[in-house]
Amino acid sequence: MSQVTLKINDREVVAATGMSVLQAARQADIFIPTLCHHDRLEAYGGCRLCIVEVESRGRINHVVSCTYPVEQGLTVRTRTETVDRIRRVLVEELMAHAPDSPELKTLAEEYGADRNRFGKEPIFCVMCGLCVRYCAEIKGEHAVGFIENGPRREISFVPERAAKVCWDCQECFTVCPTSYAQAAYLLARGLAFPDAPGGAGPAK
């Protein structure tokens, strides 16, 4: 595989063609914040927090680094005034949904985000899709999926699948940045399968 050289924050970084800017940066120990990225999953480009400034042939663009492929001679800046401002607003918007997510709190501190800027609508899910993609790509079970659209969009366990596979897996809980997957699962279990094996059952 051929190699390209690019510049990230004034450092020369060598990367293989086909890698994303995010992977190249991580490989060189340059930190870019992410919410929806997972090393074992396909790039998703959902949370937009990994936005960076790229300069190629004199043109400056703001792109999402997890889906932007590296190219020869690319100049990347991971912290500029504009990038920081975009990330701050993204964190502020996400905090309207999940105000107490530890990952968001750390990011809010870093970028000076005001957690009360937007009216709270705590649905506790930031739509990162990690649980959905983990279940589909790694487990191949498709037991959890997105339903509805726009402001009503949410993750939903599919009872027909979940009843067969979720009891012994529950691996998506560890990838969820807000613990919402776990909450949705427990709620579904409590409502639909009160007598499930290893499950809620009657109150102990």
Partner 1 sequence: MCEQAVAAIIENHRGQPEALIHVLTAIQHELRWLPREVLARVAEALGVPLSQALQIASFYKVFSLTPKGRHEVHVCTGMTCHLCGGDRLLAKVEEATGLKPGETDAAGRFTLERGSCLGSCSIGPELIVDGRHHGRMTPEQVEVVLAQYP
Q: How far is the CB of 189 from partner 1 (least distance, A)?
A: 17
Q: Which stretch binds partner 1 (CB under 8 A): 77-85, 101-109, 112-120, 142-150?
A: 142-150
Site for partner 1 contains 56 (CB under 8 A):
no
Query: Smaller CB distance to partner 1: residue 108 or 128?
Result: 128
Taking the C-alpha atoms of residue 5 and residue 17, their distance in angstroms, rounded to an integer, is 10
SS3 of 128-176: CCHHHHHHHHHHCCCCEEEECCHHHCEEEECHHHHHHHCCCCCCHHHHC
Taking the C-alpha atoms of residue 111 and residue 93, their distance in angstroms, rounded to an integer, is 13
Site for partner 1 contains 12 (CB under 8 A):
no
Site for partner 1 contains 31 (CB under 8 A):
no
The DSSP string of 79-101 is: --HHHHHHHHHHHHHHHHH-TT-
Q: Which of 128, 173, 174 is nearest to 33 (CA)?
A: 128
**Among 14, 147, 187, 192, contact with partner 1 (rule: CB under 8 A):** 147
Q: What's the order of all strands across the beta sheet hosting 3-8? A: 11-16, 3-8, 75-77, 51-56, 59-64
Q: How far is the CB of 130 from partner 1 (least distance, A)?
A: 15
Q: Per-residue x/- mask for partner 1, residues 110 to 139, rule CB under 8 A?
A: ----------------------x---x---
Query: Smaller CB distance to partner 1: residue 158 or 196?
Result: 158
DSSP summary character for residue 193: -
Strand partners, 71: none
CA distances 69 to 13, 41, 43, Å, are: 14, 16, 11
**Among 95, 125, 127, 144, contact with partner 1 (rule: CB under 8 A):** 144
Site for partner 1 contains 186 (CB under 8 A):
no
Q: Per-residue x/- mask for partner 1, residues 155 to 184, rule CB under 8 A?
A: -x-x-xx-----------------------
Size of the residue set binding partner 1 (CB under 8 A): 14
Q: Which two tokens stand for residue 175?
A: 């990838």
**Among 149, 168, 198, 204, contact with partner 1 (rule: CB under 8 A):** 149
Binding site for partner 1 (CB under 8 A): 132, 136, 142-149, 156, 158, 160-161
